[in-house]
A and B are shown apart, each in its own frame.
Chain A
Amino acid sequence: MDPSQAPVENYANPNTCLFHVLFKGAALAFYILSALFFNSFVIIFVVTVLLAALDFWVVKNVSGRILVGLRWWNEINDLGESVWKFESLDQESLARMNKKDSWLFWWTLYLAAAAWLILGVFSLIRFQADYLLVVGVCLSLNVANIIGFTKCKKDAKKQFQQFASQTIASRFQSTVQSAFTLV
């Protein structure tokens, strides 16, 4: 790991960052360049969707945890209802996260979604329904991750505010009580 040097900080988790970008880039590159090499739609579809699915898994389970300390998932509780759960590290650990890592995380997420959107528009213009299918699948995987992590971040802020006010209230209460015992 690179040591952090003031004022410029290096990436704290270069391997994770690499993988985070690798699969996204590979899926986009394969989709764009494959028309030059492969005639078969099946191979393009399967490889692109596979890379996109791997990217989804990596972002959701690995780089989300390591780069920004967030995680989201869905559970079915005992009543048979589906519950979305959001998890994050506590505030000190979140503050300790590398800024460059989280910048990379969020920006590549948004850029990849935008790129798929543009490619989707192209295939729509060319009336290629099967390529639209590929783009649709990849776009939905990216958007799912974006929505999940954005919700996680918002909930983290809200929860921290609640926790902070709770902490202050209980501290105040205990101070007052100990003041009364001393009197």
Chain B
Amino acid sequence: MSHNDTIPLYQSSQSDIDEIENMMNGGGFQSGPGTVLPARPPSPTRPSIPVSSSSSPFVQSNLPPPPPSSSSSASQKVTPVPAPPSLPPSVNFGSSEGSKTTGFGSPPNTLTEPVWDTVKRDLCRIVSNLKLVVFPNPNREDPGKALRDWDLWGPFFFIVFLGLTLSWSASVKKSEVFAVAFALLAAGAVILTLNVLLLGGHIIFFQSLSLLGYCLFPLDVGAVICMLKDNVILKMIVVTVTLAWSSWAAYPFMSAAVNPRRKALALYPVFLMYVSVGFLIIAID
């Protein structure tokens, strides 16, 4: 009798079944505290439905008895408001810190965690995504591993920052510069992703958007440097270096996602977009 695939919902019914089994298995065993029961996975102390991502995407969690600190956690929100959080948080049941579930023995769930924990978690994710994408990293060859927990907040802030920097550097038509930069980058990321999908590549839409946004970080740095020093030669050098860095960051992900014969078709538009942003940075005065 395999207990491994049943979900023990109520402990009382399970122990009844066990007693019946013991009696059936042989009179030599006595049911009692000293018996060695057949091994089965420990049943949770209260009914719970495990997460199965293949069948239904739905998870039920239990709220601990009336949370008195829900209003205090809401007021903690006042400080983290200016912090950049991430769009869809991925849940790591083991790693959510400071969860408010009391000693029920169940895994901490993120439905009842304090607000500050959510913010911290999202901030850490942005930083780790940035490090993963932009800086050299052993896991780079597998696109599935890169940016596993994608988030769109990092890209959002990088795009806005780049637009603001360009707009600040411009002496005329500041609004147009900002709008053009933002629209170019946002629409460009979407179109590049669609391009890869239409070439028959296998990527996830949001993951790719997220990656293209994070790869803007070097160009952001370049734009700031160019804003501070107005020398044309310096600008060209800085832009070339940061452009190469951005392209290097985006290359493995994009190239691994498509058929090798179509690699150039997928990569060329990405390079083109970053080159045009580079020209924008140089040309602004």
Contact = CB atoms under 8 A, between A and B. Distances in A.
A87 B111 contact: yes
Given A42-B178, A73-B88, A86 B57 contact: yes
Contacts of B156: 53
B56 A159 contact: yes
Contacts of B132: none
B61 A66 contact: no
A42 to B, nearest CB: 4
Given A54-B81, A62-B115, A74-B90, A90 B160 contact: no
Interface string A85-103: 1111110010010000000
Contact of A174 (B16, B51, B148, B149): B16
Majority-rule SS of A interface residues:
helix
A42 B62 contact: no
A170 B9 contact: yes
B43 interface: no
A84 B57 contact: yes
Interface of B: 9-10, 12-13, 16-17, 20, 49, 51, 53, 56-63, 66, 70-71, 73-75, 77, 81, 85, 87-91, 109-112, 115, 118, 122, 143-144, 148-150, 153, 156, 160, 163-164, 167, 174-175, 178-179, 182-183, 202, 204-207
Given A80-B202, A89-B60, A159-B60, 10 more contacts: A75-B149, A80-B204, A81-B204, A83-B53, A88-B60, A96-B66, A155-B56, A159-B49, A170-B10, A178-B16
Interface of A: 1, 13-16, 19, 40-42, 45-46, 49-50, 53-54, 56-58, 60-62, 65-66, 69, 71-77, 80-90, 93, 96, 130, 133, 155-156, 158-159, 163, 166-167, 170-171, 173-174, 177-178, 181
6 contacts: A41-B175, A41-B178, A50-B160, A76-B144, A82-B205, A89-B63
